């Protein structure tokens, strides 16, 4: 049971983190842009989070915004286990809208909704108590 809870916790954290535009300071509508995750809660990558006995290390995250209003967020993470480490990637897909510098995400992968701010080339999200910060390529 404890092992199952750990796996579920890791999956939940991965989905939450998977969760996060360039142009004008406050773009409006939809844009084509690629963002790289730089930090979570002020800590640079790799970002490590422990839930119970499970440890999850986010090593990379790329957020792709498309002009048609869809997005794809690909998160690569490592799960250390004894002398080995399992590397995995989760992909979140959904729709987004931008208005007055605020970006709203509608996650079609797991059904969540969250938001963020775009200021210049920086996108800052607020997701399940975490603050991921992305920088546009």
- pLDDT tens track for 62-117: 999 999 999 999 999 999 988 999 999 999 999 999 999 999 999 999 999 999 99
CA distances (Å), 117 to each of 10, 35, 46, 59, 80, in order? 27, 13, 23, 23, 33
- pLDDT tens track for 30-72: 899 999 999 999 999 999 999 888 899 999 999 999 999 999 9
What's the whole-model pTM score? 0.78
The CATH class of the 2-136 domain is mainly beta
Domain boundaries, the chain: 2-136
pLDDT at 81: 87
């Amino acid at each position: 049971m404890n092992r199952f809870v750990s796996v579920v916790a890791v999956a939940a954290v991965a989905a939450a983190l998977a969760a996060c535009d360039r142009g004008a300071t406050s773009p409006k509508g939809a844009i084509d842009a690629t963002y790289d995750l730089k930090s979570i809660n002020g800590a640079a990558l790799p970002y490590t989070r422990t839930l119970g006995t499970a440890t999850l290390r986010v090593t990379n995250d790329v957020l792709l915004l498309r002009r048609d209003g869809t997005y794809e967020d690909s998160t690569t993470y490592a799960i250390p286990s004894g002398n080995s480490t399992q590397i995995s990637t989760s992909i979140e897909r959904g729709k987004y809208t931008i208005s007055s510098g605020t970006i709203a995400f509608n996650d079609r992968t797991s059904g969540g909704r969250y938001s963020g701010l775009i200021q210049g080339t920086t996108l800052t999200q607020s997701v399940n108590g975490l603050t991921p910060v992305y920088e546009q390529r």
